[in-house]
Amino acid sequence: MTSAISVTDAAKIYGTGDAAVTALAGVTASFEQGKFTAIMGPSGSGKSTLLHCLAGLDSLDRGDVLLGDVELGALSDKDLTLVRREKIGFIFQAFNLIPTLTAKENILLPLSIAGHTADPDWYDEVVHAVGLEDRLGHRPSELSGGEQQRVAAARALVSRPDIVFADEPSGNLDSKSGAELLAFMRTAVDDFGQTIVMVTHDAFAASHADRVIFLDDGQIIAELMDPTSEQILDKMKQLGD
């Protein structure tokens, strides 16, 4: 098993003194290449902080993130930008798209920022997979929430990143749109060999993953492999007690 990204003894504290909040208290984990991993936990468990640190959006107070053979902590802002541009894709919960650009322009945005051109076959394949062939000329305000998130997913995949990070990607969607998006993410892993790390608190979303990590108080407290929704809910109940 090769790990796409790994984190060792990650610690992060926000604020100082009485106001100090420990977001991460020594997390060590590694995320397998070509697998779909979900990170779960209640609010304030540190799951979003972990995602941000893994993605090079935030820095750790202690510990290392190793993306492939690159240590993120050692990089300058400029190099981190390049890493995000070349190796990482993002799907956020909302506000994923630039409102002035069409769906197609949004999908191709990371490539144009990097000054690359898209591989047309791959682009067609991704667009086909998210089912957006007819909507490419529309702007975000003319797309439904589900369509917007699928555009974001296509954008995350089109530059063939080493790893895609998703932060509650289905959080703002109705259940049907959410299911479609998650199904597409599953397909990306199964058919294209994409590595995905997703933060969620929704058991149904997490059930699409190969592996679920449970976080609480900044520490990993449990793990499930190939789970079903029921197993996840049980585990959550169990941990909640």
Contacting range for another protein; rule: CB under 8 A; set: 100-108, 118-126, 178-186, 203-211: 100-108
Q: How far apart, in whole angstroms, are the C-alpha atoms of residue 144 and residue 107?
A: 16
Residue 18 in contact with another protein, rule: CB under 8 A: no
* Per-residue mark of binding to another protein, 120-159 (x: CB under 8 A): ---------------------x-------------x----
The only residue of 9, 28, 61, 81 in contact with another protein, by rule CB under 8 A? 81
Residue 221 in contact with another protein, rule: CB under 8 A: no
Tally of CB atoms within 10 A around 130: 24
Q: How far apart, in whole angstroms, are the C-alpha atoms of residue 154 and residue 88?
A: 13
The only residue of 21, 98, 183, 221 in contact with another protein, by rule CB under 8 A? 98
Q: How far apart, in whole angstroms, are the C-alpha atoms of residue 76 and residue 97?
A: 26
Reference 132, options 111, 119, 146, 151; nearest CA is 151
Reference 65, options 39, 28, 40; nearest CA is 28
Q: How far apart, in whole angstroms, are the C-alpha atoms of residue 157 and residue 179?
A: 18
Tally of CB atoms within 10 A around 17: 5
Residue 42 in contact with another protein, rule: CB under 8 A: no
The smaller minimum CB distance to another protein, of residues 114 and 183, is found at 114
Q: How far apart, in whole angstroms, are the C-alpha atoms of residue 4 and residue 207?
A: 21
The only residue of 21, 28, 44, 113 in contact with another protein, by rule CB under 8 A? 113
What SS3 state is found at 14?
A: strand
The only residue of 25, 66, 109, 129 in contact with another protein, by rule CB under 8 A? 109
The smaller minimum CB distance to another protein, of residues 112 and 228, is found at 112
**Interface with another protein by CB under 8 A: which residues?**
52, 55, 57-58, 77-78, 81-82, 84-86, 88-90, 92-101, 105, 109-110, 112-115, 141, 155, 167-168
